[in-house]
Structure 1
Amino acid sequence: MSAEFDKVDAYEPDRSLKGKLRRRLIRLAHRRPARVKLDRPMVSFSFDDAPATACEAGAKALEDRGLRGTYYFAAGLTGRDGPMGRFATGEDARRLHDAGHEIACHTYSHLDCGQSSAAITISDVERNAEALAAWGTGAPVSFAYPYGDVGAPAKTALAGRFKTLRALHHGLITNGADLNQAPAVGIEGDDGEAIAKAWLDRAKARNAWLILYTHDVADRPSQWGCTTGGLERLIDRATAEGFDIVTVAEGARRIGL
């Protein structure tokens, strides 16, 4: 494949009024309420799309502290260049898996689940899961909607296929939270670290499970990523505040999934 066609361009999901209403309404439908009772707050650090820097600097920040994270791979992006830099490869995924990190599922082509049919969604997700299994990283149990977007066909089709299906709207996983469209908080942009800190405070106050996500991890990250220092400070803050820092799969196990 030539370099001209090997680059992934930034994509913007539907931001129209119709799209905004759909995203709000779908959160009320096809729900799978969580049953959560924790003695201590939990936090998961996750990385979407698996840019190479997340698999290097992000993994190192966790591993240096004896911790592990969750990486949502879209196998169709691996090894390509994108707006967050170079994407990691299947070899990187196997290395992370062997080190104890969780390799989780996106769609293969980074498909927008807010626009796709049930059949196309299932086909793309199954293709991705097969690619992850071929890398030797096991069958994924955690899923994240690319762009955080989902429509009724995709949400209905994917319900129950994974322990958790993660979105991007802010919130905590507490009793009654929808596991088919679980909330998460991004560590991204200039105020990402401050926003994440505020949500850590909320999670601690409620003994809740917080899922944080980012993309690239670098000294000069993209608008969708975070700095290495910012990630390290959040990990250290969570540790100091008494959080259990777990992968998304382990968090799901602890709430009985």
Structure 2
Amino acid sequence: MTPYSADRSLYGKLRRRMARLVTQKPATLSGLRRPLLTISFDDAPVSSARDGAAVLKKHGVHGTYFISTGLSGKDSHLGQYTTADDIRALHAAGHEIACHTHTHLDCGRASSRDIAQELQRNHDALRLLGLPSPRTFAYPYGDVSPAAKGLLNDRYLAARALHHGLITAGSDLNQAPAVGIEGQCGEQTAMTWLDKAARTRDAWLVLYTHDVRDNPSDWGCTPAALDRILDQARTMGFEIVTFEAGARRAQGLPLAHAA
């Protein structure tokens, strides 16, 4: 697949900024004994489901995989996307399977009707695999509109975007910040944000990547880099949680039981 480029025009930037002002779901994160960290994988190429999951297993933690079931098994610039067997295996291992629309739809440009159809198709496909309904979402390309936020508000506990930042009390969980472990500077960027989170009271840091392989794409990282990041996080005392678990903690909700 050819890489798609989200709207980077002035209009697109203004739309994303305007979206931050509406349909907010403020976090009430407080009273943490240690900072939270989430490791998430967008699109879930096979390498993230296998090599990435192996790194998480080494550290005894679980991650969140934002899945677009309509891409399952297809080839792309990120490598092959996860198959149904990969997705089932991730769920069986305790990882969160979350929603990324069915076909990786640009929610900043799409109509509410198209977004709703995509969410339902992804939901139905995951249910057919025997998985529970996804409780969290990530915007493909990080692109968002006020209409998309309004549609997602009651469907998911939280929706993750791509702008950098920490989740603290008052942060909008309908457009939550995240930091990419991607590109040549991805590992150092992640380490910098780990340090910021460790020095911030009641902070939750969400990291994301795509492929996890020795020669990653510009949107991925190596297994060794992911391993070093997790080593550092554990040394710094982070509690490593799935995105759903973090969203529940950020709203004072009980943790969900496995379905």
Relative to the length of structure 1, the TM-score reads: 0.95
Q: 2:95 aligns with which of 101, 108, 111?
A: 101
**Which amino acid in structure 1 is aligned with residue 165 of structure 2?**
G
- Superposed CA deviations along residues 100-123 of structure 1, whole A, max 9, x for unmatched, are 111111100100000011111011
Shift of residue 154 of structure 1? 1.1
CA contact (8 A) 2:78 2:211 kept: yes
- Superposed CA deviations along residues 76-122 of structure 1, whole A, max 9, x for unmatched, are 10100011010011111110100111111110010000001111101
CA contact (8 A) 1:160 1:180 kept: no
- CA distance in 1: counterparts of 2:234 and 2:111, whole angstroms: 42
* Matched residue, 2:17: 24
Corresponding position: 1:151 with 2:145 = yes
CA contact (8 A) 2:18 2:146 kept: no
**Which amino acid in structure 1 is aligned with residue 50 of structure 2?**
E
- CA distance in 1: counterparts of 2:245 and 2:147, whole angstroms: 28
- CA distance in 1: counterparts of 2:69 and 2:114, whole angstroms: 16
Corresponding position: 1:193 with 2:187 = yes
**Which amino acid in structure 2 is aligned with residue 103 of structure 1?**
I
Paired positions, count: 250
CA contact (8 A) 1:68 1:101 kept: yes
Q: 2:162 aligns with which of 159, 168, 171?
A: 168
CA contact (8 A) 1:189 1:225 kept: yes
Shift of residue 253 of structure 1? 2.4
SS, match of residue 22 in structure 2: coil
- Superposed CA deviations along residues 193-212 of structure 1, whole A, max 9, x for unmatched, are 11111111111111301010
Shift of residue 25 of structure 1? 1.6
Shift of residue 36 of structure 1? 0.4
* Matched residue, 1:184: 178
CA contact (8 A) 1:93 1:137 kept: no
Shift of residue 160 of structure 1? 2.1
Q: 2:238 aligns with which of 232, 237, 243?
A: 243
- CA distance in 2: counterparts of 1:140 and 1:131, whole angstroms: 11
* Matched residue, 1:216: 211
- CA distance in 1: counterparts of 2:13 and 2:59, whole angstroms: 40
Q: CA RMSD in A?
A: 0.9
* Matched residue, 1:42: 36
Deviates more, 1:16-25 or 1:170-179: 16-25
* Matched residue, 1:228: 223
* Identity across matched positions, percent: 54
- CA distance in 1: counterparts of 2:21 and 2:86, whole angstroms: 37
**Which amino acid in structure 2 is aligned with residue 208 of structure 1?**
A
- CA distance in 1: counterparts of 2:233 and 2:130, whole angstroms: 31
- CA distance in 1: counterparts of 2:36 and 2:57, whole angstroms: 18
* Matched residue, 1:5: none
Shift of residue 132 of structure 1? 1.1
Gapped regions of structure 2 (runs ≥ 5): 254-259
Superposition map of 1:38-117 within 5 A: 38-117=32-111
Q: 1:33 aligns with which of 15, 26, 38?
A: 26
Relative to the length of structure 2, the TM-score reads: 0.95
- CA distance in 2: counterparts of 1:16 and 1:211, whole angstroms: 26
SS, match of residue 199 in structure 2: helix
